[in-house]
Structure 1
Amino acid sequence: MEMVAFAWCLIVSISCLTSVIAKDNVHFDKWLDEHGISADSVNYETWKANLEYVEMHNRGGHSFTVTMNKFAHLTPKDLIKEVNIVRHQHTGDHVVDQAPPESVDWRTKGVVTPVRNQGEIGSSQAYSAADAISSYIAINGGKLVEGSVDEITDCCHYHPCTGRFVENAFKCVHDIGGLCAEKEYQRDVTCACHNGTCTPFGTVKGSHMVQKDSEQDLQTAVVKQPVQVYVDAGHRSFQLYQSGVYYEPNCTTTRLDHSMLVVGYGKASTGEEYWIVKNSWGVDWGMHGYVQMAKNKNNNCGIASQADYPY
């Protein structure tokens, strides 16, 4: 009788396991189709680990949700390829204003360019710098023009084409005479600087640095215009972020490996404060390309560790 019972339990266990595997395979096939990714290019074990993480996280009562997005077959190390963020030269003085408004969203003013997708290009810095310049020019009376990432990559980097080790992009744009529109800059296979092939739509003088680690100072700056920030984005929670106020207790304030643009701040209905941050991973990541980063949570992920903006 005991042997019969054991055999029955074993059969049930195998049946349940088979059902789970079949369910995962259906989910995997659906995910491949949805994102147009070939199974041959995917490490299934990594994908499965991310699936388990998503399911566990979303049951955990966190302030944000994660999802099996287009990066679900990657590890954070695969995704975040940038290293050695260069500290910018401090040019100009940052003037602190009083009594900032409760919320700011520069998108509602029509001075923020659409979200772009950096794809395999290694420099989010070029995207955040170009977008910051575009917003600055629009706020100060110019037209909103999508600035050329290629021009910044070619003319303002130690290693053109790779997008790595960016200099102070704002000072560089001043030095080369301004920034051209994305659609007008002519790039070739050498990635040499060809800023003479187009007419700049505007220029800047340099950059103001936000006081290191001060979210209050960052808020003061964001009231004036969108601000370029550097964060620790090397976490599965960020890679798979879907919506809500992002807070990662394992973040550091010093290992800064990704650059984005803060375009505002606000407060959720739950009372949680957040920064409105524009990423360069396409509109199919996060909240239509944006992430709400926790605000006034001890500089979580280093959002105020190294922030600057053009003038």
Structure 2
Amino acid sequence: MLSCVCVLLLAATALGHLDEAALDTQWEVWKMTHRREYNGLDEEGIRKAIWEKNMRMIEAHNQEAALGIHSYELGMNHLGDMTSEEVVEKMTGLQTPLNPDRNFNMALDDKVSKLPKSVDYRKKGMVTPVKDQGSCGSCWAFSSVGALEGQLAKTTGQLMNLSPQNLVDCVKENDGCGGGYMTNAFRYVQENGGIDSEESYPYVGEDQPCRYNSTGMAAQCKGYQEIPQGDEHALAVALFKVGPVSVGIDATQSTFQFYQRGVYYDANCNKDDINHAVLAVGYGVNTKGKKYWIVKNSWSERWGNKGYILMARNRGNLCGIANLASYPIM
């Protein structure tokens, strides 16, 4: 009981450090850093109130993290003047088909007697730099492209940026910036005969007519496989045997919005409400024995830990990370 009281008193003290004068100064610095301009004082007042609420939440969380209550820290970033609802509306976009044709590959597990302690495809030259999808619900395209880039590097030794805009514009089964699904993208690349490079088909972050040109084609795809729903061990096996894997998660929590470092675990993250596509590029365990997935997001390097997040592994399929996992076959 006494320890709980101490925690609450320390958290209250921390929040007291955020006095109005300090917040005003930090707000001006944040606006300048992220080049924010608003249409009048009314809009700025609304945005400042959201930013201030987020700042206080971040401060309270980090004080609890310092006391060992949480395994990760938060930090203010370029999404500071947005609510979590706005972030989900503008910057996610994973749409699961109503009747998905699940294409499981159960054979992978039979070929692995013991998994290595860690896998990180960034260190193997199979992961391109973090991108920024902007205010377009194209997360599914970036996730798909990341998995394709990994397989291209694995099969050819060449790491190349492929075109998410090609997918946004041309995958008819998806809805472009309105959202989509990764296996639809893999199927498009297979049936289309290829996908263009980013250089030949640059990202603009809005829906446009399809401009695929085979002269810019940089990769092909023979098909795809999906991982058994909710099976974290199967996801680890796929990462070890295959490479980066497209996954879907729940990204509605404000703790996800402002993640900065550590192993992310939020019990409120809903594994049955998956809305955001990302790319699993490995897994590992930290010095405290906490197991994690290494996940690449598409919200720029300003988000998370240079665009990445470590998500708790083998903790009840956190955020549904193993529910909609798939990878392309080259």
TM-score normalized with structure 2 length = 0.84
Q: Does 1:26 find its partner at 2:25?
A: yes
Q: Does 1:69 find its partner at 2:68?
A: no
Shift of 1:121: 1.6
Q: Mean alpha-carbon deviation: is it higher for 41-50 or for 21-30?
A: 41-50
Give 5+ residue unaligned stretches, structure 1. 1-16
CA contact (8 A) 1:153 1:163 kept: no
How far apart, in 1, do the equivalents of 2:322 and 2:133 lie?
A: 23
CA contact (8 A) 2:281 2:295 kept: yes
The one-letter amino acid of 1:129's match is: S
Identity, % of aligned positions = 33
Q: Mean alpha-carbon deviation: is it higher for 188-197 or for 245-254?
A: 188-197
How far apart, in 1, do the equivalents of 2:94 and 2:141 lie?
A: 15
CA contact (8 A) 1:32 1:39 kept: no
Q: Does 1:51 find its partner at 2:48?
A: no
How far apart, in 1, do the equivalents of 2:170 and 2:186 lie?
A: 12
User: Which residue number corresponds to residue 276 of structure 1?
Assistant: 294
How far apart, in 2, do the equivalents of 1:288 and 1:302 lie?
A: 23
In the alignment, which of 128, 132, 139 is matched to residue 147 of structure 2?
A: 132
What SS is found at the alignment partner of 1:207?
strand
Query: In 2 relative to 1, CA 39–24 (structure 1 residues): closer, same or farther, beyond 3 Å?
Result: farther
1:247-302 alpha-carbon deviations (Å, 9 max, x no partner) = 11101111111110000001111110000000001111111110001100000110
Aligned residues: 294
Q: Which has the larger radius of gyration?
A: 1
What SS is found at the alignment partner of 2:213?
helix
In the alignment, which of 115, 119, 127 is matched to residue 112 of structure 1?
A: 127
Query: In 2 relative to 1, CA 187–28 (structure 1 residues): closer, same or farther, beyond 3 Å?
Result: closer
How far apart, in 1, do the equivalents of 2:214 and 2:151 lie?
A: 23
User: Which residue number corresponds to residue 35 of structure 2?
Assistant: 36
Q: Give the 5 Å matches for 1:183-262.
A: 183-185=199-201, 191-196=208-213, 198-223=215-240, 224-262=242-280
Q: Mean alpha-carbon deviation: is it higher for 96-105 or for 158-167?
A: 158-167
CA contact (8 A) 2:169 2:209 kept: yes
In the alignment, which of 88, 102, 117 is matched to residue 90 of structure 1?
A: 102
The one-letter amino acid of 1:32's match is: K
User: Which residue number corresponds to residue 8 of structure 1?
Assistant: none
How far apart, in 2, do the equivalents of 1:157 and 1:258 lie?
A: 19
What SS is found at the alignment partner of 1:195?
coil
CA contact (8 A) 1:185 1:198 kept: no
1:144-200 alpha-carbon deviations (Å, 9 max, x no partner) = 111101111111144655242346111111111111101112789972222235332
The one-letter amino acid of 2:188's match is: C
Shift of 1:39: 5.0
CA contact (8 A) 1:205 1:310 kept: yes
Shift of 1:228: 0.4
How far apart, in 2, do the equivalents of 1:296 and 1:159 lie?
A: 31
The one-letter amino acid of 2:316's match is: N
CA contact (8 A) 2:94 2:276 kept: no
What SS is found at the alignment partner of 1:140?
helix
Q: Mean alpha-carbon deviation: is it higher for 290-299 or for 180-189?
A: 180-189
Query: In 2 relative to 1, CA 89–207 (structure 1 residues): closer, same or farther, beyond 3 Å?
Result: farther
How far apart, in 1, do the equivalents of 2:207 and 2:56 lie?
A: 43
Query: In 2 relative to 1, CA 198–153 (structure 1 residues): closer, same or farther, beyond 3 Å?
Result: farther
Q: Mean alpha-carbon deviation: is it higher for 139-148 or for 279-288?
A: 139-148
The one-letter amino acid of 2:27's match is: F
User: Which residue number corresponds to residue 310 of structure 1?
Assistant: 328
Give 5+ residue unaligned stretches, structure 2. 1-15
CA contact (8 A) 1:245 1:294 kept: yes
The one-letter amino acid of 2:236's match is: Q
